Structure 1
Amino acid sequence: MKTLNDLVLTIQHYLSDYVLIIALLGGGIWFTFKLGFIQVRGFGEGMRRTFGGLFSKKGNADKDGMSSFQALATAIAAQVGTGNIAGAATALAIGGPGAIFWMWIAAFLGMATIFGEAVLAQKYKQVGSDGEITGGPVYYIRAAFKGTFGKVLAGIFAVLIILALGFMGNAVQSNSIAAAFHTAFGVPQAAVGVVVALIALFVFVGGMQRIAKVTETIVPIMAAFYILGALIVIIYNYKNIPYAFQAIVVGAFNPSAVSGGAVGATLKLALTKGVARGLFSNEAGMGSTPHAHAVAKVDHPVEQGFVAMIGVFIDTFIVLNLTAFVIITTKSIPSGKTGAELSQYAFSTLYGKGGDIFIAICMFFFAFSTIIGWYFFGQANIKYLFGPKAVKVYSVLVAVCVVLGSLAQVDLVWNMADCFNSMMVIPNFIGLIVLSGTIKKLHDDYYQNFKKNK
């Protein structure tokens, strides 16, 4: 087991620190220039479509798909997870405040990548044998490569995402909830796992309609709750806000000048940890969120591309940034803590024991919504591989993983989840690059024809 774990860690090291950073940053730059800085030009329209959908009751989920906002809420449910609390803290503890600057860069470029993912997901979505709309990377990978190679590449992606997110990833999320509740309230982790699994199973069996209703309800509430709680801490420490900006910008290029307790922080660590954690937080280029954007009811694929970009913006530039600024303005990095414990410590500087309770509640919302989102992504690939009849078995297996994940942290499972997460980027990225011309054609068609005639 130790040998296997070491092998997994070695593979993950090279994937996350080299292959993925080069591929995803390179891909982000490619799509940014190819689409004429779409994340800037399309930002306003994305915001209008997102927040217009927030207050609109039109377009309930059914077999024909979800409303555009429900699709975004499902995507954000997966994006805004424990990584926004623990991931940002880990990047700060290892790479120093400068890691946040590189998270910003990764998110900005990722907005262009996720635009392309959503556009392709819309373009190649299909009606399954159960009559429901479905879509995702497996379908556009098959469109990019006809024949056996396309089938194999799509199959590899499907297996990886089911394992990485549906099973192992959801076990990780469950453990985060159970550990946080045990710390805050002393509740046995197993009991928390069973309750979370039962609630999740109730949502799963309700199909797309129930998933859409839950995510569109939970996501705005959890975002508002966290934003308010974090802003109170930041405003209380308002005198340190200029220091926070200085530490982030200076630390991005000279970490040793403002390491703030991040022992051994270097430019390489700040860059790699910031970019890696940023990419895994907003999921741009990973091939996960296209499953949600594929089922949105829109008149043109590019319309959902605009909405998808806002998901990355909310995840990184709002939620993850708030975590970072709470930690930096409270000067908590020198505490020596990392992960969720560092975030809890930072919030407790103002809220005391209430900081543990606040993080526990946020962990529940963030991780539970991620469980729902990741289940949905895995479900699309279960249907692709085995057909709709396999979904019930998949639902039960995910619930079992949620219970098992709450019991204890098994390093091998956690590390394999990260590794499979990284590996699934590769087939998705290949499909994106090969179909980049199709993305550009749809982009041009929207501006030159559809928008003018609308």
Structure 2
Amino acid sequence: MYFPILVIILVVGGLYFTLKTRGVQIRLISNGLKLMSEPKKDKNSVSSLEAMLVSTASRIGTGNIIGVSTAICIGGPGACFWMWLMCIIGGSSAFIESTLAQIFKRKDSEGNAYGGPAYYIEQGLNKPKLALIFCIFLILAYAVGFNMLCSYNLQSTFIRYPFYNENTTPIIIGAILAILTGYCVIGGGKRIISITTKVVPVMGISYVVIALIIIILNIKNVPSMFILIFQDAFDFRSIFGGILGSCLIYGIKRGLFSNEAGVGSAPNASASAIVSHPVKQGLLQIISVYIDTLVLCTATALMCLCTGVMPDASVAGAPYVQNTMHTAFGNFGPIFLTILMVLFGFTTLIGNIYYIENAIIFLNKKKKPSKRFMKLIHILCALIVFIGATIPMGMAWSIADITMGCMTLINIPTCILLSKFAINCLRDYEDQLKQKKDPVFKGVSIGLNEESLDFWK
């Protein structure tokens, strides 16, 4: 019963936010695109675009490839439709959570901004214990669930190679990943991190180009491919006959895992942006969700389905995508995907540490823990990466789904309860736009005492 409840909360929450904001994720998308070129307030601050790119980098990863493949192979082609629909609905959830993170963010001694769901739960709802519980689930999700799954997904791309041995290869790859992850997060690998963060966007664009080439090569199959997607998506007898394994559930689960809209992770990055109005960051987070799902996840889905390679549970994950790439590029296709997965997977492992550290600081009464303690946490994260490479696929997905789901079950109801502040903030933003102003936020305009808003005093 766990996932049907999660699906209901996600859909109800997303539809509620869509109605209340009058479809902000569609109405103001052009305004959000303009905000991407807004300059920094000063050279030391984090711009709205930079914060959006941080959250986009955390969204883009192995889930865009392996997650979509798994959804199609196990849930069916119709999973694509439900993934698209939840992306559009989820765009409003991403807007609300990131706008709330901006409203209730805090300022440190150097004038930098920080915040996230734990802070708007604590201050907005006045529920400090619930904020602590959320942080615990966030740590479990990103230190355990997501890192285990990312590690498994990365090693699974080597399955099709002759040297792969199911008893020893995952252990070897897991050990290498654990050592590299530990080396970087403990502080010795800044150069590695710098290189990969520059290369990954290029690889992401290359992946979309490769997908487009495959789609063009199989253009005659595209019409029948879309018919297959929609027929399977609305095969309600199949869906309700086995709802837990249906395309609807898999489309929603894999879409949620990929774009994280409503989960409560991206607001941690959103809160760091220095902007004149909270809504600006909320709008950019909608674009981040669209980039993740409507561009990258769709590239995977259409590339796989148009080739005619049959999806099957036995090839769920990397093998299915590698098989489709092989049809167009021969042996280069699987090798390219392996390189891509290594880069995406490794930077995702490193990026997850940011969210973990943010949660630990909140649990430590807003103070940074000692270096010795954080070194211990980083070592534990590296060990979890090693374990993730050696566990079965089903276990890896289940741990990630459950921990992420627990975050969502706290965050979405919280956003619903606090949504009036984000909605009033949106009205204030649009009113100022109508007056040809660059919107500037004041707490009193949405019914909040500015003295209670740490950053906006």
TM-score band, normalised by shorter chain: 0.7 to 0.9
Per-residue CA deviations over 1:58-102 (Å, capped at 9, x if unaligned) read 966x6x5x3222222221222122221122122212332222111
AA aligned to 1:362 is: L
How far, CA to CA, are the matches of 1:447 and 1:175 in structure 2? Answer: 45
User: Given the alignment of the two structures, is residue 234 of structure 1 paired with residue 252 of structure 2, yes or no?
Assistant: no
Question: 1:190 deviation in Å?
Answer: 4.3
| 1:380/1:267 CA distance change after superposition, 3 Å | closer
The residue matched to 1:388 in structure 2 has which SS? coil
Per-residue CA deviations over 1:364-415 (Å, capped at 9, x if unaligned) read 2222232233221111101100231254433332223223333444865653
Within-5 A mapping of 1:152-231: 152-181=129-158, 183-184=160-161, 186=163, 188-201=169-182, 203-204=184-185, 217-231=198-212
User: Contact 1:161–1:421 (CA<8 Å) still a contact in 2?
Assistant: yes
Gaps of at least 5 residues in structure 2 are 439-457
AA aligned to 1:368 is: F
User: What fraction of aligned residue pairs are identical, expressed as a percent?
Assistant: 36
User: Given the alignment of the two structures, is residue 286 of structure 1 paired with residue 263 of structure 2, yes or no?
Assistant: yes
Gaps of at least 5 residues in structure 1 are 1-13
Question: 1:200 deviation in Å?
Answer: 3.7
User: Given the alignment of the two structures, is residue 351 of structure 1 paired with residue 329 of structure 2, yes or no?
Assistant: yes
| 1:212/1:342 CA distance change after superposition, 3 Å | closer
AA aligned to 1:15 is: Y
User: Given the alignment of the two structures, is residue 296 of structure 1 paired with residue 296 of structure 2, yes or no?
Assistant: no
Per-residue CA deviations over 1:7-31 (Å, capped at 9, x if unaligned) read xxxxxxx222x11111111111111
The range that moved more, 277-286 or 444-453, is: 444-453
User: Given the alignment of the two structures, is residue 416 of structure 1 paired with residue 399 of structure 2, yes or no?
Assistant: yes
Question: 1:429 deviation in Å?
Answer: 1.3
Question: 1:329 deviation in Å?
Answer: 0.3
AA aligned to 1:416 is: I
Question: 1:328 deviation in Å?
Answer: 0.9
Per-residue CA deviations over 1:77-130 (Å, capped at 9, x if unaligned) read 221222211221222123322221111110000001100111011111113579
**Bigger helix share:** 1
The residue matched to 1:452 in structure 2 has which SS? coil
Give the corresponding residue for 1:434: 417
User: Contact 1:73–1:219 (CA<8 Å) still a contact in 2?
Assistant: no
Give the corresponding residue for 2:52: 72
Match of 2:106 among 113, 120, 126: 126
How far, CA to CA, are the matches of 1:137 and 1:321 in structure 2? Answer: 29
User: Contact 1:78–1:371 (CA<8 Å) still a contact in 2?
Assistant: no
The residue matched to 2:246 in structure 1 has which SS? helix
The residue matched to 1:333 in structure 2 has which SS? coil
The residue matched to 2:340 in structure 1 has which SS? helix
The range that moved more, 310-319 or 385-394, is: 385-394
How far, CA to CA, are the matches of 2:244 and 2:176 in structure 1? Answer: 43
Give the corresponding residue for 1:10: none
The range that moved more, 376-385 or 409-418, is: 409-418
User: Contact 2:221–2:306 (CA<8 Å) still a contact in 1?
Assistant: yes
| 1:391/1:41 CA distance change after superposition, 3 Å | farther
> Structure 1 length normalisation: TM-score?
0.84
User: Contact 2:25–2:88 (CA<8 Å) still a contact in 1?
Assistant: yes
How far, CA to CA, are the matches of 2:162 and 2:288 in structure 1? Answer: 32
How far, CA to CA, are the matches of 2:124 and 2:211 in structure 1? Answer: 44
The range that moved more, 226-235 or 370-379, is: 370-379
Question: 1:167 deviation in Å?
Answer: 2.8
Give the corresponding residue for 2:2: 15
Match of 1:372 among 333, 336, 350: 350
The residue matched to 2:275 in structure 1 has which SS? coil
How far, CA to CA, are the matches of 2:191 and 2:85 in structure 1? Answer: 35
Give the corresponding residue for 1:100: 80
Question: 1:320 deviation in Å?
Answer: 0.5
Question: 1:307 deviation in Å?
Answer: 0.7
User: Contact 1:123–1:301 (CA<8 Å) still a contact in 2?
Assistant: yes
Give the corresponding residue for 2:449: none
The residue matched to 2:389 in structure 1 has which SS? helix
Question: 1:436 deviation in Å?
Answer: 0.6
Give the corresponding residue for 2:123: 143
Within-5 A mapping of 1:392-411: 392-409=375-392
Give the corresponding residue for 2:13: 27
| 1:193/1:133 CA distance change after superposition, 3 Å | farther
How far, CA to CA, are the matches of 1:218 and 1:279 in structure 2? Answer: 25
The range that moved more, 166-175 or 186-195, is: 186-195
Q: CA RMSD of the aligned region, Å?
A: 3.1
AA aligned to 2:98 is: A
How far, CA to CA, are the matches of 2:125 and 2:243 in structure 1? Answer: 41
AA aligned to 1:353 is: N
How far, CA to CA, are the matches of 1:15 and 1:105 in structure 2? Answer: 21
The residue matched to 2:157 in structure 1 has which SS? helix
User: Contact 1:184–1:360 (CA<8 Å) still a contact in 2?
Assistant: no
